Amino acid sequence: MLRPDNMARYPDVDLKLGIKSSLPDVKATLGLLMMIWRASNSPAEIAYSKQVGDTIEIADDLAARLTDKYRPIYFGSGITDEQFLERVNNNQLFKSQLESLIVAFELIWRLAKVKFVGNMANSFERTGGKRYDKRLYFTKNMDILDSLLLSDDEQYSRVLLSWLGFGAAGAQTRFITALLQLLVCLSEEAVYKLADGERDIIFNMNSVYAKLLTGGESVDINDTREPKGPLRILKSTLSERMNPFLSYSNTSGVAIASDEKERLAAYQKRVDAYLSLTNAKHIMSTEPQTEIAGDEPAPEVGTTEVPRATSGKNVILYGVPGSGKSYTIGELYCNDENRMERIVFGVA
């Protein structure tokens, strides 16, 4: 028999807290992603577009699969294939820059990795307005979503069509709420950054929930400078009422939705418990493991990790704006602004 290899070590994820990553029509974008997955028989990856001049559109074979799957529903609502595909091609999967899709799909919901089909840098679409062919690499979170979508294929197909912009599809509220709730659960590990005067706040939705439940007031997530990274998409998501626990407006901030306080209080505790379990760090032991019975503490063993070695007390951390310096310092070294000095180097 074979033995497994040591588990894979992955590079650190760039949280992209400092890029301008707007994504309008979040619900429609996620809806089409799920429709592509369902129509393509749960693939591991798919190239979903074709180049048309300076734009991209749905690939022909994928367009055929989408119409075959969803025609029985939208045709009954008076929607033609042409109208359906026109709405598909106007979706942000084809209109938005790659980096915006990365923030949504990889960093917030973790549903798929998205890359250019060609060998280009992720920033290639930042200027010029031209769009290039892309490929999706789905994650196991799509399997979690699929377990819900499969529970009532027709009703959830109506939900996805309504998110795409076809309100006549007749989606029922309870199915909409169930899908939104699952998407909220999948997004709880996302990290956001906002500027509060001269300081940066790195937060997740759990900290928003906790503040709402203990403070009794709305929570302001407006950036005192320009909102960037996942924060932009979070605000779009809340504006589209994609979190059933919350209400939101740009002027009034985030508040607990009507009659949801008790449910949110219980959910926040579950989120907090989950996040405490995701903060796991594997330490490679250099000595044999000893089985420990009951609550007896484990003996200390050698480790391949090297502790921070320094003969002084100063730490210099440098990087481009938005790369997470403040977050790293606060988490690993010091969370006291009075013991830190910030220096910005300019070009002469």
The domain spans of the chain are: 26-185, 192-278
- Which pLDDT tens digit goes with each residue over 110-147? 999 999 999 999 999 998 899 999 999 999 999 999 99
Rounded to whole angstroms, the Cα distance separating 143 from 205 reads 23
Rounded to whole angstroms, the Cα distance separating 244 from 256 reads 9
Helix axes 26-39, 140-149, angle to 10 degrees: 90
Q: Which residue has the tokens 């730490």?
A: 315
What integer is the mean pLDDT of 187-216?
A: 94
What integer is the mean pLDDT of 15-35?
A: 91
Q: Are 44 and 136 in contact (CB under 8 A)?
A: no
Higher pLDDT, 189 or 347: 189
Rounded to whole angstroms, the Cα distance separating 159 from 146 reads 14
Q: What is the pLDDT of residue 13?
A: 84
Residue 157, pLDDT > 90, answer: yes
Higher pLDDT, 74 or 315: 74
Q: What is the pLDDT of residue 280?
A: 60
Q: What distance separates the 2 farthest-apart alpha carbons in the chain? A: 74
Nearest to 109 by CA among 185, 184, 180, 187: 187
Q: Which two tokens stand for residue 147?
A: 């377990």
Residue 247's H or E segment, with its range, is strand 246-249
Nearest to 35 by CA among 153, 186, 137: 153
- Which pLDDT tens digit goes with each residue over 274-305? 999 987 655 544 444 444 444 444 444 444 44
Residue 154's H or E segment, with its range, is helix 153-164
- Which pLDDT tens digit goes with each residue over 89-115? 999 999 999 999 999 999 999 999 999
Higher pLDDT, 347 or 71: 71
Higher pLDDT, 305 or 263: 263
Higher pLDDT, 335 or 273: 273
Dihedral (CA of 22, 132, 84, 141) sign: negative
Count of Cβ atoms closer than 10 Å to residue 35 Cβ: 23
Residue 290's H or E segment, with its range, is none
Higher pLDDT, 308 or 57: 57
Q: Provide Rg for the chain, Cα atoms.
A: 23
When pLDDT is cut at 50, 70 and 90, the band that residue 345 belongs to is low
Q: What is the pLDDT of residue 339?
A: 65
Beta-bridge mates of residue 136:
46, 114
What integer is the mean pLDDT of 307-315?
A: 51
Q: How confident is the prediction for the chain on average, in pLDDT?
A: 87
